Amino acid sequence: MSPVNVVVGVTGGIAAYKAVGVIRSLVLAGHDVHVVATEAALRFVGKPTLEAISRNVVNTDLYEGVAEVRHVAIGQAADLIIVAPATANTIAKLAAGIADDLLGNTILASRAPIVIAPAMHTEMWQNPATVANVAVLRSRGITIIGPATGQLTGADSGPGRLEEPERIVAEALAVLRPKDFAGRRVLVSAGGTREPLDPVRYIGNRSSGKQGVALATAAAARGAVVTLIGANLEVAVPSSVTLIAVSSTLELAEATTRESAEAQLVIMAAAVADYRPEDVQPTKIKKDQQGERMTLELVRNPDVLATLAATRRAGQVIVGFAAETESDPTALLELGRAKIARKGSDYLVLNTVGWTEGFATEENTVVVVDRAGAIVMEASGSKASVADRILDVLA
């Protein structure tokens, strides 16, 4: 997604500290973030913190910047408005169209999509007045994210907890995405497979699954019906995606073969082990029984991508991933061309990995080649932005 102008409204609840995570995620994704905080919000989070994280001046006072008509200009310039947290009081004022502070004026003066993430005690969330106010906002096309159920202030627990920043950002940005995958069934694999040695140990890799989850999330935001085969994921999966959890390569192969039958698009982003131990021990291997050296016999796993490519039906598009440590761009491209020729997929995403890049990081660098070996796209940035660039090609 191209950078957009996002206004984040922060209101006066204890969950205001989580707004810092929302703002930070948006900034790291390359967006221009302007915070409009209520006076009550600044009792919970300091203005210097919000300015440092957003990298912009924080606006709070309705009567500041009168000469530039700031109370209207901020809303007019916004591509998206997110209110997180949104208290019961704020929700009530928005439903009634009350604009007695800068945030209310900003929202009334904007034609941008509005996303609200409520946070309050359970009794307040379930109060008939709040229920009616939320229904009014939904009827106007405002997106409501959450609230979640969980620990609240003090010993209380129940519905009313602010959703986590990652989900708020993902679902808010999804409002802006084109629905060019509407009606399509998409299958994505993500994470790293683990091949057990015994009940305690395994051979694995450092993939967190972040890039694959970003692809699944973005495809769902663009209208697709998405199933994610997740191998040992280290990142949350949004509710818009159906998750099937697996661990080993054989489990991933079985699930992918089954689920790909109905998919128009299959994206194999998981880091799949090429080999597995020939014998898995039923009990923990003892080092005293092995001596100074231990020898493992490994057997080759099935080539999941090649199998999918060879058995795909007419019209089905198969996309593979290749994690490579080659730093020379020309050599990397030659590796990719040789691999897509062997695998037979429609596209191959080459992603550079190493000790400090690719795996388990927030950013990624990729080159996408087609079956002819031609480069169709290059991208570098957050894994969310890379996911959208890949989907732009596939759309």
CA distance 316 to 57: 49
CA distance 166 to 213: 12
Torsion angles phi and psi, residue 94, rounded to 5: -65, -40
Query: 66 with 38: CB under 8 angstroms?
Result: no
CA distance 261 to 251: 16
Parallel, antiparallel, or unpaired: how do β-strands 317-324 and 347-352 relate?
parallel
Cα-only R_g, the chain: 24
Within 13 A of 247's CA, how many CA atoms are on the CB side?
A: 7
Query: 235 with 208: CB under 8 angstroms?
Result: yes
Q: Which two tokens stand for residue 258?
A: 């089954």
User: 192 vs 71, 195, 270, 273, 324, CA distance in Å?
Assistant: 49, 10, 6, 8, 15
Query: 209 with 192: CB under 8 angstroms?
Result: yes
Catalytic residue (choose from 205, 232, 351, 364) = 205
Q: Is 5 a catalytic residue?
A: no
User: 265 vs 26, 152, 156, 252, 395, CA distance in Å?
Assistant: 28, 41, 45, 17, 10
Listed in sequence order, the residues at least 6 apart from 217 whose beta carbon sits closer than 8 Å to its beta carbon are 170, 174, 237, 238, 240, 241, 384, 387
Q: So which residues are the catalytic ones?
A: 205
